A = this chain, B = another copy of it.
Amino acid sequence: MERNYNFCAGPSTLPEAVLRQAQAELLNWHGLGASVMEISHRSKDFEAIVTQCEQKMRSLLNIPENYKVIFLQGGAYAQFSMIPLNLLGNNTRIDMIETGVWSSKAIGAMKRYADINIAASTKDTKFTTLPEANALNFSEDSAFVHYCDNETINGVEFNYIVDNTPSPVVADMSSNILSREFDVSKFGVIYAGAQKNIGPSGVTLVIVRDDLLGKADSKMSDVFNYELQSKNLSMINTPPTFSLYMIDLVLTWLQNQGGVAAIEQVNNAKATMLYDLIDKSEFYNNPVAVNARSRMNVPFTIVNSELDPIFLAKAKEQGLINLEGHRSVGGMRASIYNALPLEGVKALCEFMSDFEKQYG
């Protein structure tokens, strides 16, 4: 088989139809006699791509008019600094919820800029649970509340929106944006690295409510100033043009799948199938509380961890690749983003059943 089922956590699998289109027009895009990556970002042809990326994202996520949609560089990691530099103003406090590796990294970065109030932490459960929605201890004077909606490494996903907060909510949705419907208007800022559900790596999506603009630190580069970038079609500097082109194709693909509501049904079916297999088995295990489980990233272990390398090698033979767990936790992880088809999860479940019969 030319293409494997690729469970990589990111950069992750892309829709095959998108890759085939990119391949077909790689040397001659739109009859220009040049690749899309060889034309000026200031050309009408390329500006249309960025405009379409914004419009399709607005349509798919039902983003209200009073939100800006921008595409930046530097990954979600850079946003850990850019968010305080854009939003703090004279405020000196941030409320943060800790539910896994990525929200912990955000805390480590943001504490350079402000006093951090930990509104809740699930560290005591080794990040296998969610905090109770009514047990979040917000301060009254914070600039914003930060949380990570889906923890890629820990396999934990919020099953509620953090709401009724004294200050605007900022959410890292890198690994679950576009995977389910949600109400954008509940948020001040939503940000996401592209390399899971949006496209290839190199682009960071930022959705920001316009009343939060205007407080950017004067020492920050214009390139990371939300207000300036939103006024300049995200092109104060030369953007990663090929990545944006790919995003445009991925968003079109998602529209053709029926949009976010339709892909959410598929995502639920995929996750249910995989968790059911794990839960019915004495051989596989997932450590996360049922109500905290991610529909995107499913970490699992085999009771006898000596079987891990055999499992991974045999899975690869079957065309099921990149199932290694994160280097910090070991075991296995199946990332089942939008572009990983239902058939891929079926194939994985069949393989896991067979493997259990042989080695269990």
Q: Which residue numbers of A lie inside 8 Å of B, CB to CB?
A: 1-4, 6, 8-14, 16, 19-20, 22-23, 26-28, 32-35, 37-43, 73-78, 80-82, 85, 109, 112-113, 193, 195, 200-202, 218-224, 236-243, 246, 319, 321-322, 327
Contacts and interface: CB of A to CB of B under 8 A. Distances in A.
A218 B33 contact: no
A80 B221 contact: yes
Contact of A220 (B41, B81, B327): B81
5 nearest interchain CB pairs?
A202-B240, A4-B33, A75-B237, A81-B221, A77-B237
Given A8-B38, A23-B26, 19 more contacts: A3-B27, A4-B33, A4-B34, A6-B34, A14-B35, A19-B35, A20-B27, A34-B322, A37-B200, A40-B322, A42-B327, A73-B73, A74-B223, A81-B223, A82-B221, A112-B218, A195-B238, A200-B242, A202-B239
Contacts of A40: 8-11, 322
B221 A109 contact: yes
Contact of A38 (B14, B26, B81, B242): B14
Contacts of A33: 1-4, 6, 319, 321
Q: What number of copies of this chain does the assembly contain? A: 2
Contacts of A78: 73, 221, 223-224, 237
A27 B32 contact: no
A219 B112 contact: yes
A291 to B, nearest CB: 29
Contacts of A193: 238
Contacts of A8: 34, 38-40
A321 to B, nearest CB: 6
Contact of A238 (B11, B113, B220): B11
A78 B246 CA distance: 23
A88 B14 CA distance: 42
A77 B13 contact: no
Nearest to A319: B33
A242 B193 CA distance: 15
A2 B23 contact: no
B73 A202 contact: yes
A35 B322 CA distance: 13
Contacts of A327: 42
Contact of A11 (B37, B112, B113, B219): B37
Contact of A200 (B75, B195, B241): B241
A81 B78 CA distance: 14
Contacts of A81: 219-221, 223
A12 B78 CA distance: 27
B4 A32 contact: yes
A3 B20 contact: no
A4 B34 CA distance: 6
